[in-house]
Structure 1
Amino acid sequence: MRVPVRRLFFCLIIISRAMSGAAKLKSVDYEVFGRVQGVCFRMYTEDEARKLGVVGWVKNTRQGTVAGQVQGPEDKVNSMKVWLSKVGSPSSRIDRTQFSDEKEIHKLEFKGFNTKY
């Protein structure tokens, strides 16, 4: 069976557009400064990450901050960045959040979102 060239060309355009519209995967490291230890910040961070469908990790630092990494579709990573900058846990106080090493990745490096100790 021969497929008309026009139809084949049309199908290739549709496939190309669908593939280019696929969500880009991003990775970003973060550190949150303020009153973020002893206020369940890590637990709420895990919960929010799971709700959004991003992967990565979170941990307390010796400097009294919370640090970690988030990976996932660009829009979801951006939503997590807003949460880490402005929301946090109910008892926390976020003074500032520093993001670094933001980059596009080809595949996720983690299976879920966990707390590191």
Structure 2
Amino acid sequence: MCRYTEDHGKKLGLNGWVKNTRQGTVVGQVQGPSEKVSEMKVWLSKVGSPSSRIDRAVFSNEREISKLDFKGFFTRY
């Protein structure tokens, strides 16, 4: 799922990262304009990659930031 998520994050012009966990879930951080972050959240919770099965999506630690912590959107391993 990470490749598709990375591509979608880049398409939206977001910054951050995504990573598959050993438990079969995906974690990450997303930064950017709130409307684009909202679009990404909808995509993550409703669409995802073609081979993914989305049981639930949990978003936490949401806050406004004054400076981006990441440049670009990438996959961590």
TM-score clears 0.5: yes
2:52 & 2:68 partners in 1: Cα distance?
29
State the TM-score, normalizing by the size of structure 1: 0.64
Q: Which has the higher strand share?
A: 1
Instruction: Give the equivalent residue in structure 1 for 2:7.
Output: 47
What is the deviation of 1:82? 0.3
Give runs of aligned pairs for residues 19-98 of structure 1, distance below 5 A.
Answer: 41-98=1-58
**Aligned equivalents of 2:47, 2:22: Cα separation in 1:** 22
Greater relative contact order (Cα 8 A, min sep 6): structure 1 or 2? 2
Q: Quick one: distance in 2 between partners of 1:54 and 1:100?
A: 17
- More helix as a share of residues: 1
User: How many residue pairs align between the two structures?
Assistant: 77
Whose radius of gyration is greater, 1 or 2? 1
Quote the sequence identity (%): 73
Equivalent in 38, 58, 63 of residue 103 of structure 1: 63
Q: Which runs of 5+ in 1 are unaligned?
A: 1-40
Deviation per residue, 1:58-89 (Å, 9 max, x gap)? 00112110110100000000000000000001
Q: Normalising by structure 2, what TM-score?
A: 0.96
